Structures are given as C-alpha cells and as structure tokens.
Amino acid sequence: MTLTIIQAIIFISYVTFLMIKFKGPLPSISDSWYELDGLYKSLFTWFCWGLGFLMLFQTDGTSAMFFLSGAGLCFVGAATMFKESMTKTVHFTGAAIGIISALIGIWIERGSNIPLIIWLIFCVLFEISKVPNKTWWIEIIAFFAIIFGLICF
C-alpha cells in the first residue's frame, strides 16, 4: 500500500505541476519533455523512473506483469525523445507495456479486471468523441485505473 501511495503522489504531483505550468493538458504527458526547459526536462525521466521502479515491487510473485510494467515505464523515461526515429519505438512500446502489463497484473495477481475494463471503455469513448489531447487523457485514465486497482484489490 505504501508503494502505491508514493506512486500516486509522484503521479498527481507531476501532472498537477504540468497542468499549472502549461495552463491545461499537453498532447501527452511525454510531451512535457519537449515543453520543459533546461534541467526541468529531467523531471519527466525522474517521473517515469519513480513510477517504474516502484512498480517492480508491486508483485506478489505469481506473474511477471508488474515487473514488465515497471521496466516499460523505465524505458519510457530513458527514451524521452519520442519524436526521434531512434527512440520512438522504444518509447511507445515501453508506454504500452507499462500501462497494459500493470492492468493485466491487477487482473492476474489481484483478481480484478475492473481497472482494465474502465480504461478500455474510456479509450473507446475518447476515440468516438474526438476529445482534444486524447493521448494525455488516455494516460491519465490509465494511471488512475492502475492506482485504483492497486489500492482497492
């Protein structure tokens, strides 16, 4: 539970910082690396590594899903320049693995597919409604679904 609370604090703090600094959502959380100046760029890496490293220890040992999730998030933090061809694949693959593995890990290890279903429903709704900054909101819902799943199940 302590790991989850720390992850929630890291996530909410960083996203709140971005929302205040940029007066609303960016196209994606990853875009913050491009929007922040100087050493502030490194905050995105620390954000990803903080969430990812703690995710490695969420497992009860029955599957590798949380380990894969943590590794994926750490790769996202390392491959920050997702608009470049050399890091694009690593970044997007890491992000997908980070989100999907955590949601499947909650299903396998905690016995609930509710967070995964919630996230998938929102993904479909965002696609249908053509919501602006869709990737940002998909990431926000993913992290809230993951935190919800880790706390409640």
Q: What is the pLDDT of residues 101-124, one digit of tens each?
A: 999 999 999 999 999 999 999 999
The total number of structural domains in the chain stands at 1
**C-alpha to C-alpha distance for 120 and 79, rounded to whole angstroms:** 26
Q: What is the pLDDT of residues 29-54, one digit of tens each?
A: 999 999 999 999 999 999 999 999 99
Residue-range definition of the domain harbouring residue 34? 2-152
Q: How far is CA 141 from CA 45, 52, 60, in A?
A: 20, 17, 24
